[in-house]
């Protein structure tokens, strides 16, 4: 029933009625949503009244309400619980949705009305004025000022690009599933915990491989099991499987798709008056220009590479000889233990997932923001494993938080946050619904879910996005929840990571799942002492991915190679140019499975470290001002996560701190000073 997609739900906080939605509903609902929005746009442009803020911008904001409601569900499930039918729908509708988007932003009459309001924006103030300015920028960067021939070509490009992006994601996921590593004996899995082994056995059984074990692949290059697997041959198999995704010359090879998309993006950018696609993207972000991004990344690359070389020498001393990329995580943990007496793998019994969630993640949010979380088993998510929590602030319900913790073949790799409902007053939506997705291997029934150190960090990180979505309040949907600049959106999530090891928070959740004993008192000090350990590796692998992304998107159309085999050569040259070509430290992602840049982060993977400048300065502020207090949380809500996209985020930050964020805290944190 398409009404379950189009109409506001009657469930608490407008939680979608997932049980009433079938695959057959999406197509008709999308069609109807597009038709209704086009009719609303026609009503705006056919009006003979003088363009005003109300009859143009507010009407524009209202126009896509029902289509947006459909697409939030569709795209969320496409990432979290897809199948062949949903993938086919996406492939069919991606070009049509791109064309629909163009029908809005390339409409001459609509742009004329928006431009008329923009010219008189001095009459407006606050969020109203900012809405006009942002929409005008959207139209200009989308090509609204181009001539008819250029617009026609732009429409073609947008449809082709969207189709290629959908195809890339589908092929990359299929190849990741296909390359999952099959292990014959439990002895080969030495180093994994009983829970991880049971998860591998269950995954194999689900694939019809009873009696064997299956290690599914993660999104990033260095699989977390590489740090604990004792069998070097298996480590190599796992690493090479990760690296091979999308580049095996089979039906799921993504390289030709990637090159076609890059070439068309470059043509689009030139059509819009930019030298490169990176120029187009950064023009609508806080960075402003590709040069600003490259200058920062290259400033960090040399010291990061230097630190990684020093770390490599220590690892090779521990290994008794040269190490390969699949050895690095394993020997890094050995050196961490010997130098700092910190074995991250040994800490897992203190990181039981439910305890981390309730007594860590939720606890910190309660202290800072007055939030409480009540699980609602009566409310159904989109998958049986999804848990639904009602969120209240100072006793008043403000929304729902959905948690989808476990990995499955129907879910893409990595971790992310989505919004189903965003709080805004224009459409009468006072509360928000957000979901966090992770990819933790699910243990066998009866086994506890014990998280790795990195998974705990990821849970805190993604919950930072969730807090942003839950606490932001805006008048207009355009500014609701996490609708901020792409190179700003990671900042709140990074800040929330700090509470993972905050003494008061750690002591509250890090309790041994069997004995009830708290985590050893000296562990926090050891973790803090080892904070910059292996940071040369971590920074180098991240910068490598960011620079690969930037280098591709700095090219003109004629500069993009045509041969799939040239992809690896291009990456190697881009990294060698900045000294990040150490074969033992591979890029966090490579082009053939770099889903970020063939999705929402095209030419914007730099965003994480760009945002970290603000994050590091904010962490320093919390430490200087008493840490986990309600007063500090209120200030942070007022100037950062509570404002959504309603004002320039850097202006708000400078107002709060009395100055822009300096880079020094970031350099110190990453050991690059």
Which residues are catalytic, by number? 462
Helix (H) or strand (E) holding 421: strand 416-421
- And the tokens for 50? 């003088």
List of residues 6+ apart from 567 with CB closer than 8 A? 247, 255, 258, 259, 561, 591, 592
Burial of 656 (0-12, 13-18, 19+ CB in 10 A): middle
How many Å apart are CA 106 and CA 95, to the nearest integer? 16
40-75 per-residue burial string, b: 16 or more CB within 10 A, e: under 16: bbeebeeeeeebbbebbbbbbbebbbbbebbbbbbe
Residue with tokens 């591709």: 552
Tell which residue, 394, 309, 314, 332, has the closest CA to residue 534: 332
How many Å apart are CA 322 and CA 332, to the nearest integer? 13
With contact defined as beta carbons under 8 Å apart, do 527 and 347 qualify? Answer: no
With contact defined as beta carbons under 8 Å apart, do 255 and 247 qualify? Answer: yes
Q: What is the DSSP letter of 408?
A: -
How many Å apart are CA 279 and CA 658, to the nearest integer? 30
Q: What distance lies between CA 632 and its chain's CA centroid?
A: 26
Strands (E), 485-635: none
Q: Report strand pairing: 396-406 vs 432-440.
A: parallel
Residue with tokens 């997609």: 5
Residue with tokens 């020997």: 331
Calculate the dihedral angle through the C-alpha atoms of 461, 464, 469, 474, rounding to the nearest 10 degrees: -140
How many Å apart are CA 488 and CA 492, to the nearest integer? 8
List of residues 6+ apart from 156 with CB closer than 8 A? none
SS3 content of the chain, % helix, strand, coil (to 5): 60, 10, 30
């Amino acid at each position: 029933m398409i009404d379950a997609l189009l109409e506001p739900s009657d469930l608490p906080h407008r939680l979608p009625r997932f049980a009433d939605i079938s695959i057959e509903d999406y197509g008709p609902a999308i069609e109807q949503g597009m038709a209704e929005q086009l009719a609303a746009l026609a009503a705006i442009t056919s009006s003979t009244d003088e363009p005003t803020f109300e009859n143009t911008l507010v009407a524009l904001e209202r126009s896509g309400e029902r289509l947006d409601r459909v697409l939030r569900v569709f795209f969320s499930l496409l990432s979290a619980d897809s199948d062949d039918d949903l993938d086919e729908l996406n492939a069919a509708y991606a070009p049509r949705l791109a064309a629909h988007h163009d029908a809005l932003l390339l409409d001459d009459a609509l742009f004329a009305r928006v431009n008329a309001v923009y010219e008189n924006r001095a009459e407006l103030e606050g969020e109203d004025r900012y809405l006009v300015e942002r929409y005008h920028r959207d139209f200009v960067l989308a090509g609204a000022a181009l001539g008819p021939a250029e617009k026609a070509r732009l429409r073609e490009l947008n449809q082709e690009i969207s189709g290629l992006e959908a195809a890339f994601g589908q092929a990359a996921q299929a190849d990741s599933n296909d390359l999952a590593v099959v292990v014959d004996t439990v002895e080969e899995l030495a180093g994994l915990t009983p829970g991880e082994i049971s998860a591998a056995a269950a995954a194999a059984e689900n694939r019809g491989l009873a009696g064997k074990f299956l290690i599914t692949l993660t999104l990033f290059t260095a699989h977390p099991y590489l740090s604990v697997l004792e069998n070097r041959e298996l480590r190599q198999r796992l690493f090479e499987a990760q690296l091979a995704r999308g580049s095996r010359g089979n039906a799921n090879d993504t390289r030709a798709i990637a090159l076609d998309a890059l070439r068309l993006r470059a043509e689009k950018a030139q059509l819009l008056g930019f030298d490169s696609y990176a120029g187009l993207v950064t023009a609508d972000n806080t960075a402003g220009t590709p040069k600003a991004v490259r200058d920062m990344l290259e400033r960090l690359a040399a010291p990061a590479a230097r630190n990684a070389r020093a770390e490599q020498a220590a690892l090779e001393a521990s290994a008794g000889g040269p190490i390969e990329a699949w050895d690095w995580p394993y020997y890094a943990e050995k050196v961490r233990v010997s130098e700092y007496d910190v074995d991250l793998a040994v800490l897992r019994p203190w990181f039981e997932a439910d305890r981390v969630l309730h007594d860590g993640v939720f606890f910190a949010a309660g202290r800072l923001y007055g939030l409480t979380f009540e699980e609602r088993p009566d409310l159904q998510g989109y998958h049986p494993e999804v848990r639904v929590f009602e969120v209240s602030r100072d006793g008043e319900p403000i929304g729902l938080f959905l948690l989808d913790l476990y990995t499955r073949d129907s879910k893409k790799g990595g971790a992310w946050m989505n919004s189903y409902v965003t709080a805004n007053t224009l459409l009468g939506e006072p509360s928000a619904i957000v979901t966090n997705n992770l990819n933790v291997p699910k243990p066998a029934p009866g086994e506890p879910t014990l998280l790795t150190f990195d998974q705990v960090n990821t849970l805190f990180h993604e919950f930072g996005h969730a807090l942003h979505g839950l606490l932001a309040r805006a008048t207009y949907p355009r500014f609701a929840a996490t609708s901020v600049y792409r190179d700003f959106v990671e900042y709140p999530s990074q800040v929330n990571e700090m509470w993972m090891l905050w003494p008061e928070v750690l002591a509250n959740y890090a309790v041994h799942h069997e004995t009830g004993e708290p985590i050893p008192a000296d562990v926090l000090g050891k973790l803090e002492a080892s904070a910059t350990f292996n940071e040369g590796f971590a920074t180098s692998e991240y910068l490598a991915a960011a620079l690969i992304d930037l280098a591709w998107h700095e090219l003109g159309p004629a500069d993009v190679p045509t041969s799939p085999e040239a992809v690896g050569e291009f990456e190697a040259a881009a990294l060698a140019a900045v000294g990040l070509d150490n074969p033992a430290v591979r890029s966090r992602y490579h082009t053939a499975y770099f889903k970020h840049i063939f999705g929402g982060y095209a030419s914007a993977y730099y965003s994480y470290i760009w945002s970290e400048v603000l994050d590091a300065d904010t962490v320093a502020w919390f430490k200087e001002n008493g840490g986990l207090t309600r007063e500090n949380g209120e200030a942070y809500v007022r100037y950062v996560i509570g404002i959504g996209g309603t004002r320039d985020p850097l202006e708000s930050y400078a107002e709060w701190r009395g100055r822009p964020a300096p880079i020094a805290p970031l350099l110190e944190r990453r050991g690059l000073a």
